[in-house]
Chain A
Amino acid sequence: DVKVTQSSRYLVKRTGEKVFLECVQDMDHENMFWYRQDPGLGLRLIYFSYDVKMKEKGDIPEGYSVSREKKERFSLILESASTNQTSMYLCASRRDRLQGYTFGSGTRLTVV
């Protein structure tokens, strides 16, 4: 089974901090995605990557950046955390465009 691992289940950070959320997948998947889930808003796409060193903005990229230096790892960076970035963050991957996603367990981030 494909495994998508998010490094932290719960994080508490202070406003203004730089925050790194890490995601690693172990099945050589080409595509990786970062979503956030908020009540009443569903899952919204922040950034995605179809290949190493490649990144594309999703629907809500403001305040975020990403890094994909290696195929298996896709990092989400909050440059200066704000309280409105308190959310559940979900990483997902898929082998190619013909497949659905496999999700990680999520990181619940609270910014205080």
Chain B
Amino acid sequence: DQQVKQNSPSLSVQEGRISILNCDYTNSMFDYFLWYKKYPAEGPTFLISISSIKDKNEDGRFTVFLNKSAKHLSLHIVPSQPGDSAVYFCAASEAGNQFYFGTGTSLTVIP
């Protein structure tokens, strides 16, 4: 059963606007979360992380929010750029064990 879910397979956003990518998880023991970005024919690259002791982490245009009670995290990209067009995966782990990945959201930023 999928422990990490990304319910939106795709998202289109105008350049300059905000992109919001969502991720839900079922295991309340997950305590470390990552977002990866993947271009076609390339491996995923690390984007941003958050641990369960925080509810927000920011890095430039990227911010990740964690709502532990709702078992939900989101990635905000502001402002969105055409180069952000890629597939985004969220991942979660418990106590440093292996990461469980979501199914991915394909983001298209329209110039």
Q: For A96, what are the chain B residues with a Cβ–Cβ distance below 8 Å?
A: 96
Contact B44 A98 (CB under 8 A): no
Residues of A within 8 A of B (CB): 4, 6, 9, 33, 35, 40-45, 48, 58, 90, 92, 96-98, 100-106, 108
Contact B103 A42 (CB under 8 A): yes
Interface contacts (Cβ under 8 Å), in number, total 55
| Whole-angstrom distance between the Cβ of A14 and the nearest chain B Cβ | 23
- B96: which of A9, A58, A97 is its contact (CB, 8 Å)? A97
Q: Using A40-B9, A48-B98 as known contacts, say yes or no to A102 and B89 having CB atoms under 8 A apart.
A: no
Contact bitstring B38-51, A, C-beta under 8 A = 1, else 0: 00011111100100
Contact bitstring B69-111, A, C-beta under 8 A = 1, else 0: 0000000000000000000010100011111111110000000
| Whole-angstrom distance between the Cβ of A111 and the nearest chain B Cβ | 18
A-B contact pairs, 27 of them (CB 8 A): A4-B43, A40-B9, A42-B4, A42-B89, A42-B102, A42-B103, A43-B44, A43-B89, A45-B100, A48-B98, A58-B98, A90-B44, A96-B96, A97-B96, A97-B97, A100-B46, A100-B49, A100-B91, A100-B99, A101-B44, A101-B99, A102-B46, A103-B43, A103-B45, A104-B43, A106-B42, A108-B41
Instruction: Give the size category of B's interface with A.
Output: 20 to 34
- By secondary structure, the B interface counts as loop
| Whole-angstrom distance between the Cβ of A8 and the nearest chain B Cβ | 13
Q: For B36, what are the chain A residues with a Cβ–Cβ distance below 8 Å?
A: 103
Cα–Cα, bound, A9→B89 (Å): 21
- A98: which of B34, B46, B91, B96 is its contact (CB, 8 Å)? B96
Contact B95 A97 (CB under 8 A): yes
Contact A42 B43 (CB under 8 A): no
